Amino acid sequence: MKTRANRLESAGVHALLLAAVLFATYPVLWVVSIALTPGGLGANIGILPIPKSPSLDNFRLVLGGGSADHGWLFAEQTANSLVVSLATAFVAVAIATPAAYALARFPFVGARASMRGLLATQMFPAVASAVPLYLLLDALHLLDSRAGLILVYASTAVPFAIFQMRGAFLAIPVDIEEAAMVDGATRAQAFFRVVLPAARPAIAVTALFAFMSAWNEFILAATLLSRESAFTLPVVLQRYVGEHDAAWGAFAAGAILVSVPVMALFYVAQRQLVSGLTAGGVKG
């Protein structure tokens, strides 16, 4: 009797999980179906997201549309997104790691106020800072440039990265650093050879979040960039949705192409993500 009850409970759990997976993947399947349908939403697509006459025309349109100039332009725009996102992640981690370590290990006057100030910066939406950022980059002659966009994205990613990394360092026992220093290591050697390897999952998650925030950001990029060759991919996708018409097929194909690097990063870093997502979840 108990075995039968366990089987029924297991079947119910699996049914709920299957329903949740279908609920989550249904919109994604719709995007794939629209991308593979030449007419996009204008074509006859049923309730089931299965394209009746699948075609790669929308992908060809996004990637080049038969024009070598357009194909090179899309490659340059993709490179813009990759360079800006990777540089943002690198700068955010490089600045946040020593700052978070100092906040986690060295008590000083104003440490708590500093953390509150960093968290306060996360309360304001990006659009609230668009105008002052535009004026600052204009004064520095960094408009329509990757360097300007990296500077803007890194300044918004650093506070969250510090908060995340500080929690990770607090979760690492101080004893292992003290043991290394008893054996003759300096504070810097203990940091680089003991603490950083232990915090590797948290560093990977922090870098991934910084990469994704820069990769998906649209408002600031659309405000600070005006040259088509300087656009990032979210700005490029927005061009397929006009005021009076929308190329939903090309938009869906572009959305899939934009998602590929993020999915690849998640696949590569999945082992680090499992432990890194909870590395900063300590109170302090």
Alpha-carbon distance of 134 to 126, in angstroms, equals 12
CATH 1.10.3720.10 residue spans of the chain:
67-276
Percent of the chain exceeding pLDDT 70 equals 88
What's the token pair of residue 157?
A: 């990613």
Q: Which residues pair with 246 in a beta bridge?
A: 241
According to DSSP, residue 246 is labeled B
Task: Give the mean model confidence (pLDDT) for residues 78-107.
Answer: 93
Task: Give the mean model confidence (pLDDT) for residues 102-131.
Answer: 83
Q: What are the φ/ψ torsions at residue 53 (nearest 5 degrees)?
A: -135, 80
Nearest to 160 by CA among 198, 210, 111: 210
**Model confidence pLDDT, tens digit, residues 146-184:** 999 999 999 889 998 998 899 889 988 888 888 888 888
Q: What pLDDT is stored for residue 101 in this prediction?
A: 93
pTM, entire model: 0.83
Helix axes 146-171, 68-105, angle to 10 degrees: 40
Instruction: Give the CATH architecture of domain 67-276.
Output: Orthogonal Bundle (1.10)
According to DSSP, residue 195 is labeled I
In the chain the beta strands, taken as DSSP E runs, fall at none
